[in-house]
Amino acid sequence: DVQLVESGGGLEKPGGSLRLSCKVSGLSFSTAWMSWVRQSPGKGLECVGLIRSQNNGGTIDYGAPVKGRFTISRDDSISTLYLQMNSLKIEDTGIYYCTTDVGSIWTPFWGQGALVAVSS
């Protein structure tokens, strides 16, 4: 079975940092394009970013609200996806989902979600 297990969420103050991890099993992680999608009360669903597989250049695209503050990376040797979140803002509060490429022709797999709360 395919599993995506996220960790690393929590409460942080504005301006602080958090790092999310997503451990993937049951699929060929090294060839998978991966997304981070967040759900927030005020803005609904937003794509935080997409990272392509290394054999497709490993390029990364970020959503405008997080560009320059968030960094997506992957370690194919341990099938893990990361989201480094710096300079956190209150509006970054939400549930962050690790997912296989939401735009692919293949049905996306989703993690259980990691709660991120930014508050002073």
Partner 1 sequence: DVVLTQSPLSLPVTLGQPASFSCRSSQSLTHSDGNTYLSWFQLRPGQCPRRLIYRVSNRDSGVPDRFSGSGSGTDFTLKISRVEAEDVGIYYCMQGTHWPPGYTFGQGTTLEIK
Q: Two tokens at 95? A: 């549930």
Please tell me whether residue 110 binds partner 1 under the rule CB under 8 A: yes
Please tell me whether residue 56 binds partner 1 under the rule CB under 8 A: no
Please tell me whether residue 64 binds partner 1 under the rule CB under 8 A: yes
Calculate ∠ Cα 25-75-89, nearest 5°. 100
Could you tell me which stretch among 20-28, 35-43, 73-81, 83-91 binds partner 1 (CB under 8 A)? 35-43
Phi, psi for 31 (deg, rounded to 5):
-100, 0
Please tell me whether residue 44 binds partner 1 under the rule CB under 8 A: yes
Q: Do residues 99 and 110 lie in contact, with contact meaning Cβ atoms separated by under 8 Å?
A: yes
Please tell me whether residue 108 binds partner 1 under the rule CB under 8 A: yes
